[in-house]
Amino acid sequence: MQPVATDELRIEPDAVRRVLLVDDSLSQLKMVGLMLKRWGFEVMTAESGPEALGICARTPPDLVLSDWMMPGMDGLEFCRRFKAMQSDGYGYFILLTSKSDKGEVAQGLDAGADDFLTKPVNSHELRARINAGARVVSMERQLSEKNRQVSEAFAELKIIHEAIDNDLKQARKIQQALVPERVRQFGSSRVSLLLRPCGHVGGDLVGMFTPGFDRLGLYSIDVSGHGITSAMVTARVAGYMSSSFPDQNIALEKRFDHYYAMREPAQTGRLLNERLAADPGVEEYLTMAYIAANLKTGKMRMVQAGHPPPILLRVDGVVEFLGQGGLPIGLVDEVTYDQVEFTMARGDRLLLYSDGFTEAVMKGGHMLEEEGLAELMRLGVKNGGEGPELLEDMFWRLTADMQNPETLGDDVSAALLEFDVMGEA
């Protein structure tokens, strides 16, 4: 039966419909029960705590009116057990008592009672207590519904997040596959690569390729931004600088229909800029350092497009920073690049790297910068580091002295060329 809404009784709609009345006095049960039924409530009655608990287990009430003083299980114990068995909804509990001592009231509150009503029951006060309980029950149900909706939304988001996370893990594998070789020997020279994205995927790319004849192409690329978009651009650029398909590599050109020669690095930079500028919807740009190396003579030709200056560590420990900057690739439609030429001698080492190294914030609050990276390189070589072990040593030294070593603020990558450092393979 739906509670009525009159001037005498205003109850929150549907908040309190079923009331359980518990008292060992049959006259009290009859008197209060008639009052509640006249107001439109569905009334259930019990003469003891155990009987009441059985009713609650079968038909949970919205509101309980229970006498405090009852033989066997008193109202306090019944209240404790009633509150302990609640799971799906909130039952408002009013203790009927002649007690008014503050200590005894505190006992009732500790047991879980929501309100108190003094016996003998006054109809006006009873209506007021029920109204207060109805508001609490209504708010609790609204809160429970909101919590349910939030829990469902969270569960859906968790499923979506797991799917995205799995996709990103797969994307990471694909991106790692763009750098299939981390170390490769070319005669008496060696190339080593390091790639550490700050997230699942990143915008850094390092790579190498060779058309043969002691020629080597070596590059370091850093796409603007982070995450999936940048990673997609690196995948596209990896195709433009492919080591597996020379006919797709813009740094190579076919000669006499039977071999590939290396283009000038400045021309390669211009062609790559044209490709990126022509790609619809691509707003990202990239910086690049690209070396066309002659591993027989040690002559190197380089284009630097907004990338950090490569570090040339001479065998005697002298450091040179190469290049003057240049415009990033994909930033403007038409651009020309300057070309830097230098010669490497036996035992020299050349490092191409991204600004994830040099802009790392160290414990003192300063950035590592180029001089700091050169010092890491010197220390690694001094301690006998070579090849991929040297790059790993530099990365370890970097993170060991970073302000937040647990979290990379940017992708970190490097390409190392060690010229004529070993016997012929």
Whether residues 341 and 265 share a domain: the answer is: yes
Q: What is the pLDDT of residue 171?
A: 72
Whether residues 112 and 185 share a domain: the answer is: no
CB-based contacts of 70: which residues, under 8 Å, 6+ apart?
22, 23, 24, 48, 49, 78
pLDDT confidence of 167, banded at 50, 70, 90? confident
Whether residues 295 and 387 share a domain: the answer is: yes
What CATH number did the domain enclosing 73 receive?
3.40.50.2300
Domains contained in the chain, number: 2
Whether residues 409 and 261 share a domain: the answer is: yes
CA distance 4 to 21: 19
Q: What value does the mean pLDDT take over residues 184-192?
A: 95
Whether residues 213 and 326 share a domain: the answer is: yes
H runs (alpha helix) in 96-122 = 102-111
What's the pLDDT tens digit per position in 27-38?
999 999 999 999
pTM > 0.85: yes or no: no
Domain residue limits at 45: 18-146
Given a cut of 70, whether residue 4 has pLDDT beyond it is no
Whether residues 290 and 331 share a domain: the answer is: yes
Is 205 contained in some domain?
yes
Please tell me the least confidently modeled range out of 164-168, 208-212, 251-255: 164-168
pLDDT confidence of 214, banded at 50, 70, 90? very high
Do the beta carbons of residue 93 and residue 114 sit within 8 Å? yes
What CATH number did the domain enclosing 396 receive?
3.60.40.10
Given a cut of 50, whether residue 143 has pLDDT beyond it is yes
Q: What is the pLDDT of residue 281?
A: 67
Is 11 contained in some domain?
no
What's the pLDDT tens digit per position in 272-302?
999 888 777 667 899 999 999 999 999 999 9
Is 116 contained in some domain?
yes
Closest listed residue to residue 95, CA positions, set 278, 189, 201, 80: 80
Residue type, 189: S
Whether residues 374 and 291 share a domain: the answer is: yes
Q: What is the signed CA dihedral for 309, 312, 313, 316, rounded to 10 degrees?
A: -130
pLDDT confidence of 87, banded at 50, 70, 90? low
Whether residues 304 and 256 share a domain: the answer is: yes
Given a cut of 70, whether residue 254 has pLDDT beyond it is yes
Whether residues 182 and 266 share a domain: the answer is: yes
Please tell me the least confidently modeled range out of 161-175, 183-197, 217-231, 249-263: 161-175
What's the pLDDT tens digit per position in 309-320?
999 999 999 999
Is 161 contained in some domain?
no
Whether residues 230 and 359 share a domain: the answer is: yes
DSSP per position, 132-185: HHHHHHHHHHHHHHHHHHHHHHHHHHHHHHHHHHHHHHHHHHHHHHTS--SEEE
Whether residues 226 and 374 share a domain: the answer is: yes
Whether residues 138 and 215 share a domain: the answer is: no
